[in-house]
């Protein structure tokens, strides 16, 4: 059954970051040292107007530099001007392939955004309001039904767009590297090892993940 989740409002997390840090410090001495070294929690949310726009941007930005991706994304959006959500998806369906390719989409990304638009039109992808009420795992499973949207991409949406407090992207190289540095491991830890250790971080694994990324950057 869907469970109502904390909602991020106007770029602010719905959870108390001070409470999250207190919990993490108390539950894990090594993580407490990392938090002390890094300093205040500085994760920023990006406004989400609809699930369609969020996933469209995520697909376009994959494996591209920020500047190149931003240029292509703006060109694609210019083909469906002044529309959002389901209406934008419907309009994208009608845009010819050659125009989308001309905007800079690769063949793989063209197929992905086509699948995304059809999924929204068929209501296989939840609206933003529906997504806010869904359990993390259930929402991830729905999002990865879209071609080109993997688990990592879905997890980034939950963390940086929806402000979910308890997401742990264990397949992320930065998370694994950060864990190795923060916990003074000689080798890269397995995803299973991180998952076992991270149980103590619940329900604030997103906050812990942000600190592991900072550890990876410093190392």
The answer to whether 59 touches 148, Cβ cutoff 8 Å, is yes
Q: How far is Cα 83 from Cα 34, in angstroms, rounded to an integer?
A: 44
Q: Which residues contact 126 (CB under 8 A, 6 or more apart)?
A: 51, 134, 139, 142
- Number of H-type helices and E-type strands within the chain: 13, 0
Tell me if residue 16 is catalytic: no
Question: DSSP secondary-structure letter at 144?
Answer: T
Map tokens 């980034």 to a residue: 156
Which one of 28, 136, 166, 172 is the catalytic residue? 172
Comparing CA positions, the residue from 155, 199, 201 lying closest to residue 174 is: 155
- As annotated, the active-site residues are 172
């Amino acid at each position: 059954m869907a469970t109502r989740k904390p909602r991020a409002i106007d770029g602010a997390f719905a959870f108390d970051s001070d409470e999250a840090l207190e919990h993490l410090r108390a539950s894990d001495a090594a993580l407490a040292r990392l938090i002390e070294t890094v300093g205040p929690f500085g994760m920023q949310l990006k406004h989400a107007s609809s699930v369609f726009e969020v996933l469209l941007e995520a697909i376009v930005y994959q494996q591209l530099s920020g500047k190149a991706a931003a240029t292509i994304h703006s060109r694609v959006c210019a083909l469906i001007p002044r529309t959002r959500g389901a209406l934008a998806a419907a309009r994208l369906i009608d845009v010819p392939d050659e125009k989308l390719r001309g905007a800079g989409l690769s063949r793989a990304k063209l197929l992905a955004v086509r699948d995304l638009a059809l999924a929204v039109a068929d209501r296989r992808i939840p609206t933003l309001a529906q997504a806010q009420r869904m359990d993390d795992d259930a929402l991830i499973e729905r999002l990865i039904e879209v071609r080109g949207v993997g688990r990592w991409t879905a997890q980034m949406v939950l963390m940086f767009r929806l402000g979910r407090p308890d997401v742990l992207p264990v397949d992320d190289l930065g998370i694994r590297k950060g864990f190795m540095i923060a916990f003074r491991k000689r080798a890269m830890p397995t995803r299973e090892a991180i998952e076992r250790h991270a149980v103590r971080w619940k329900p604030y694994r997103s906050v812990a993940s942000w600190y592991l990324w900072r550890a990876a950057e410093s190392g």
